[in-house]
Structure 1
Amino acid sequence: MPARPGQHPVPPLPGRSGPSPAEARPAVDSSTEVYRTVQASGAFQEIRHSYRAFVFPVSGAFLGWYLMYVAAQAAAPGVMRSQIAGPVNVAWLLGLLQFATTFVLTWLYARNARTKRDRAALGLRWDTQDQLR
């Protein structure tokens, strides 16, 4: 019975032929080495850095904006009930701005990916595929 991933192969019973434990161990796949080389490359690290340089600050800013909305609702309910126009109050306006912010950040992320990372990642992908052939 072959070993499942993460399990050691069962040695054959005495007197029966079969692979030795050293032969039963899977060899390191050449594709694994290609991907490890790509991961260690400067181009891949630059793509990761570009991704993180955009995503972490923007995610932090959006989380702060959301928590400010929740804190304002809890700390100053009178201000949040202040009417702006007709039935629209400050809470409704800030809540709708949360949705608008989500769409703007999605657009900014897509634009950032398209202009800064996609071309480099595609080039890296083609190089990797060439190495695997």
Structure 2
Amino acid sequence: MIHPTTTRPMSRLKIAMWLAAAALLLAPAVAMRFTTEVVWTASDFAFAAILLFGSLTAFELVSRRTPAMAWRLAIGATLLGAVLLVWVNAAVGIDGSEDNPVNLVFYAIAAASLVVAGVLAIKAPRR
């Protein structure tokens, strides 16, 4: 029997998710070495890191609440959709440029999807 204070080892899928997020964050840094078309500032890297690692941390915390794979997939898909919506909207804007005020609606949609993920986490069957 595992002692209650003993942590369970991370699964290969979780390790792959964290490594994929790190690779996504490192890709622009590598691209900046080879081309002048990619220009990220420190704040761009900070924004991406908070977005990627924050969403993965939220997924980790929420997925521990339920053993059901269907609930984990629903919560993960919701978080992924919110992350992609925010990333695209911040990068180039969905309606015109990123400075267009209409794009604020898409941030509201992303926030609503995070609320849905939270509700799913609350309603999910417990372990």
Normalised by the length of structure 1, the TM-score is: 0.36
Higher relative contact order (CA 8 A, sep 6+): 1
